[in-house]
Homo-oligomer: A and B are copies of this chain.
Amino acid sequence: MFISNMSNVTIPSPPIDRLDTEGIETIHEASMTILENLGIQVSHERALELLGEHGAIIEDELVKVDRDLIEDAIEQAPSSFTLHGRDQEKDVTVGGDGHILRAPGYGPPNIVTVTDGRRSSTMEDYENLVKLAHQESAINCTGYNVCEPNDVDQEVKHIEMVSRSLRLSDQPLMASTYGEDRASACLDLVGIAVDDPELSQPYVAGLINTVPPRSLDTRMVGGLLTYAESGQPTIISSFTMAGASGPATLAGSLAQANAENLLGITIAQLSNPGAPVVYGVPSSNIDMRYGSLSIGSPESMLFVSFAGQMGRYYDIPSRGGGGLSDSKTVDYQAGVESGFVQAVTAFADIDFVLHAAGILESYSAISPEKFLLDCEAIDFLDRFATGYSLDEDDLAMDVIAEVEPAGHYLSQPHTLEHAENAFLLPELADKRSHSDWADDGSLTAFEVASEAVGKRLAAYEQPAMDQDIETALEAATEEAIHRIRA
């Protein structure tokens, strides 16, 4: 009888790369031309000083940077870093093999549920989404601005959100990058919650969006400098909409997005060499018929593949993709679009996935139901990633010898032993017969997930926090709010 001497020979799938080396270099060279000859608009004073000190040419806030400066910055940026949770067991490594950070949707001003339909999102929705993110194994960073809390004073909402995130979860998180003041206020709260006021290691990531074409927002650059100087990672992301804020071709938009990202990375490295950064291309196209953003598109998938490939080319962790859809409700379109972008995200070797779950309507809405469904979909991809185990027991040659031709394995001890762990047993995807499904109310996945959301929120347990820290965090939160309102 054949004997296997292997345990698990599954190899990591090669990434879905769509460019050869010449193609990568073509884009890189085009970006260098943009940086060296066309320039990028920067109006943040300290950033302009830093750039000027290092030889950049600055004309009317248009910064032209030599490729040497860019290449030095790429060299200085770390290839991986660890984002630490309030609970050390929740630490997540970003970059390197086999690690993926996944954070919820970011920024949607609307919420879509079975019971309410679509409405403006509130702080209660924010809290609920953080509770879901804390519980789902697919999500390992609670993110920030998971939905816009529209019922809260806009001037203090960043404080309100971060303070709640810190109490409701012990995972790593994200926080405001909108100007030095908001960024600093958030970082102070994080320092208190993790009992490390100096932020001696990365705990909180900041999303830095460029303003395509060829511009960096002053407040965002302020946030970038604050995070970088504190050693906290920034996700530098050119959210280019090809056909609107970028050329109506992928190549042109790739080159432009890449140039913007590289300038952001350079500013981070000039302010604090070695500061952790993530190379982000959350770009997509617009639908040329309506002028509307299209994130659940094949072009969106191509941008994700590009992000993974360029991140590896520059040896900087990459960001892209997620559970993205343009659908207005949790239907087939939501499933297939999110599934495609999610699959490419997994297969393109992306390191940091923002919007990993819940997004509908081209980022304009988030659905708690879709959040859970997207998380289960991530479980499918993670199971696919583990591949096959080929040891003796898995090959089961003696069991195969035992079963009659055209017989069945149902009553084999081997089958019973493997019943629980052999295959993924999804909670939301319905695997029953049609009649059992019909007897149970013929629910769609959206409806099934609605029940699951209720159960998750009822079962949620707030993670422990030291009483002194909790008191200090509450006081600091109140003080920060008071300071803003004063």
List residues of chain A with CB under 8 Å of any chain B CB.
Answer: 1-2, 4, 6, 9-11, 13-14, 16-20, 22-23, 26-27, 29-30, 32-34, 37-38, 40-41, 62, 110, 118, 211, 213-215, 242-252, 254-256, 285-292, 294, 296-299, 301-302, 305-306, 326-340, 343-344, 347, 361, 364-365, 370, 373, 377, 379-381, 383-384, 387-391, 393-397, 399-401, 403-410, 412, 414-415, 418-420, 422-426, 428-434, 436-438, 442, 444-446, 449
Contacts and interface: CB of A to CB of B under 8 A. Distances in A.
A243 to B, nearest CB: 6
Tell me the number of copies of this protein: 2
A182 B55 CA distance: 81
A232 to B, nearest CB: 27
B14 A10 contact: no
Contact of A336 (B11, B326, B365, B377): B377
B415 A247 contact: yes
Contacts of A446: 331-332
A245 B409 contact: yes
A413 to B, nearest CB: 10
A244 to B, nearest CB: 6
Contact of A292 (B244, B290, B305, B433): B433
A408 B253 CA distance: 12
B410 A244 contact: yes
Contacts of A288: 418-420, 422-423, 425
A475 to B, nearest CB: 41
Given A32-B2, A395-B255, A423-B287, A327 B244 contact: no
A414 B248 contact: yes
Contacts of A340: 339, 343, 377, 380-381, 384
A333 B1 CA distance: 42
A37 to B, nearest CB: 7
A308 B335 CA distance: 25
Contacts of A249: 389, 393-396, 414, 418, 422
Nearest to A23: B9
Given A18-B13, A335-B332, A423 B27 contact: no
A174 to B, nearest CB: 25
Contact of A20 (B11, B328, B344, B426): B11
B287 A388 contact: no
B6 A23 contact: yes
B17 A4 contact: no
